[in-house]
Every structure is written in C-alpha cells, then in structure tokens.
C-alpha cells in the first residue's frame, strides 16, 4: 500500500487544528479490508460524501480513508451465468445509468441512477457510496429496495454476508452495515420466467429544477397471462425509515386494473411517513406519494405488457 498522509500537528497545549485525512490506497480487496479493520478508517468511494462532510465541518470525520474505486473486484457491471446482473459497488452511478444490460431488464434501476443530480455528479458518486451514505433521499436504494436486490458485504474478519437494502441501512447493532465492512457488490434479481415483468421509477422534482426528490417511488409489477398481478413491489424514499417497501401482498393475484393501482397507491400513502422540508409539507408529500405510486405502477405495468415508454423521471 501507499500512504498519502500529512503528519498531524502537535500543538503542545495549543488547540489542535483538524487533522488532515490520510489516504491509504489498497492494491487488493483483502488489503482494503485489512485497512478498513483499523480504528478511524473509512471507505472512500467517489469521495463526495467525505468532501461534503468536510465542508459542513462534520465532527467525527475518519482519520484514514481507504479508496476502493480502483479495485477491479468492485468495478463494473457483469451478468452471471445464472443471468443475474451484479454491479460492483465502486461503479459510478453514471455507468449504472448507461448500462444497457441493466436498462433491458430493470429500467427502474436505470432510471433511479440516472435521476441523481447531474451527469457530472453521477460520474463521481459510486453505487456503494450512495447506498452506504444511509440517506433516505437517495434514489438508487429506493429502486434496489423495490427490486429486492442483494448487497454483498465483506469484512476482514467474518467473511462475506448478503443483505437487502433495508437490512443494510439498519443500525449496525441490528445487523446493518458495520464499521470496517465494505459493500462489494449489488446483485439484481433475474426476471421471473413465465410472467411479464415491468419496472419503473418516478421522481417528483417539485420545483422543476434538479435537487433531491420531493417524492420518489420505485415499482415492480409482474403479470400473468390473465393480467393478474403476480408481483407488486413498491418502495418509497424520503420518508421516515426510508426507503420503505410498501407491503402489497394482499393485492397479489388480483386483476391489475385501475382499482388495484388505487389500492396500492393508497397503501403507499398511508403506510409511509414523509417529513416537512423545503420541498413540501408532510401532508402534501403523502398525497404525492399516492400520485407517484400510481404513475410508477402504471408505467411498470405498461412495460410488463410491452407497451411502456422508457421515460425518465418527472421533472
């Protein structure tokens, strides 16, 4: 490894300046895991989160950052022999949004990644960093929650484990991502055989300009030959404890029609707790969660039937 670090100041009684960070650049995944096992070390993906924390003068910033973006083990989009797509955690969101293999199978993920900020920022931000930031306003975790994607997490000790997005975002004590753990890859499910499946992501930019969503919803819909719902997954972000997967099992088997969409939208609106912020009051967001759930489900069903248009987010 190479270390890029400044010597910390020793003020001798004087108050200390904030110590500069050290970058400990690993050459392999194992080395990265070993470095991350040390106290005060943290993963450095695209660096955006750390740069923002520095600007905001966040306390308790890590003293050593371990850049993982250059590790081949964490890079790129691959389709496995079982047909499942695995996205390396260090893949920039822009690459996720542009991966044709993903867009063909799960446009909900393509749209979510492509809706983040601007292309410029999507090039900096890695998928793993975006998820590990624990920010309910982030887009890709919402899509991954609806998809039921598997996150592969590794640590120097304890080997590898697989978590869903909601599991990973729990507090560490409850089984969530722990310090020293590295999110290595995200594996998307295959589309089930025998059922037409579609997915869609809808992001409401309430002021028409790019910012975090007022409301964002991801939907996955599976339909059988009779037009009955075989799969209904709906995830909502920017809500308390989000992203929240809306339980819709009670609607499975029913005919996918306007009534079912209304039921699902109602469940999304009543089953989530958005918060007041500059983008709107909680009450307004609740109404919009209903509206955008309806839009996402409707588009996902269109796509399942092969009649969908591949539109982006609403902005």
**Binding-site ranges for other proteins (CB under 8 A):** 4-7, 9, 11, 13-18, 20-23, 44, 47-48, 50-52, 54-55, 57, 65, 67, 69, 117-121, 123-124, 204, 206-212, 262-263, 265-266, 269-270, 276-278, 280-284, 286-291, 294, 315
For other proteins, which is the closer residue by CB, 5 or 29?
5
For other proteins, which is the closer residue by CB, 38 or 270?
270
Kindly give the pairing relationship between strand 150-154 and strand 196-204: unpaired
Least separation in angstroms between residue 314's CB and other proteins is: 8
8 A C-beta contact, residue 62 and residue 42 = yes
Least separation in angstroms between residue 287's CB and other proteins is: 6
Give CA 20 to chain center in angstroms.
29
Least separation in angstroms between residue 275's CB and other proteins is: 11
Please name every residue paired with 5 in a beta bridge, in sequence order, or none if there are none.
none
Give the DSSP H/E element, type plus range, for residue 182. strand 182-187
Least separation in angstroms between residue 159's CB and other proteins is: 29
Give CA 140 to chain center in angstroms.
3
Least separation in angstroms between residue 306's CB and other proteins is: 25
Kindly give the pairing relationship between strand 41-44 and strand 64-67: parallel
Least separation in angstroms between residue 67's CB and other proteins is: 6
For other proteins, which is the closer residue by CB, 86 or 293?
293
For other proteins, which is the closer residue by CB, 137 or 153?
137
Classify the C-alpha dihedral 228-233-234-239 as positive or negative. positive
Residue 124: asked if its preceding bond is cis (omega within 30°), the reply is: no
For other proteins, which is the closer residue by CB, 98 or 302?
98
Least separation in angstroms between residue 5's CB and other proteins is: 6
For other proteins, which is the closer residue by CB, 86 or 286?
286
The candidate with the shortest Cα–Cα distance to 66, out of 92, 93, 34, 91, is 34
Give CA 310 to chain center in angstroms.
20
Cβ contacts of residue 82 below 8 Å, gap of 6+? Answer: 190
For other proteins, which is the closer residue by CB, 98 or 170?
98
Concatenated DSSP letters for 190-227?
A: PPPTTSEEEEEEEEE-TTSSSSS-SEEEEEEEEE-TTS
């Amino acid at each position: 490894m190479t270390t890029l670090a400044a010597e910390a100041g020793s003020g001798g009684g004087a108050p200390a300046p904030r110590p500069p960070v050290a970058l400990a650049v690993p050459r392999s995944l194992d080395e990265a895991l070993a470095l991350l096992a040390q106290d005060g070390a943290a993963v450095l993906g695209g660096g955006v989160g750390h740069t923002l924390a520095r600007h905001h003068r966040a306390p308790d910033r890590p003293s050593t950052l371990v850049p993982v973006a250059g590790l081949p083990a964490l890079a790129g989009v691959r389709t496995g022999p079982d047909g499942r797509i695995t996205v390396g955690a260090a893949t920039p969101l822009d690459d996720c949004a542009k991966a044709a293999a993903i867009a063909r199978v799960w446009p909900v993920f393509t749209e979510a990644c492509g809706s983040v900020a601007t292309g410029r920022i999507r090039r900096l931000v890695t998928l793993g960093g975006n998820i590990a930031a624990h920010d309910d306003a982030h887009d890709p975790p919402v899509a991954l929650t609806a998809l039921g994607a598997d996150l592969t997490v590794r640590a120097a000790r304890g080997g590898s484990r697989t978590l869903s997005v909601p599991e990973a975002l729990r507090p560490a004590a409850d089984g969530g991502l722990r310090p020293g753990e590295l999110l290595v890859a995200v594996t998307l499910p295959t589309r089930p055989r025998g059922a037409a499946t579609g997915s869609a992501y809808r992001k409401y930019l309430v002021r028409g300009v790019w910012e975090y969503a007022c409301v964002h919803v991801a939907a996955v819909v599976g339909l059988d030959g009779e037009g009955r719902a075989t799969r209904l997954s709906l995830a909502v972000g920017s809500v308390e404890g989000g992203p929240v997967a809306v339980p819709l099992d009670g609607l499975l088997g029913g005919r996918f029609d306007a009534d079912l969409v209304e039921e699902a939208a109602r469940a999304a609106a009543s089953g989530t707790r958005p918060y007041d912020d500059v983008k709107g009051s909680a009450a307004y967001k609740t109404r919009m969660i209903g509206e955008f759930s309806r839009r996402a489900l409707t588009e996902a069903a269109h796509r399942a039937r092969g009649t969908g248009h591949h539109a982006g987010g609403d902005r």
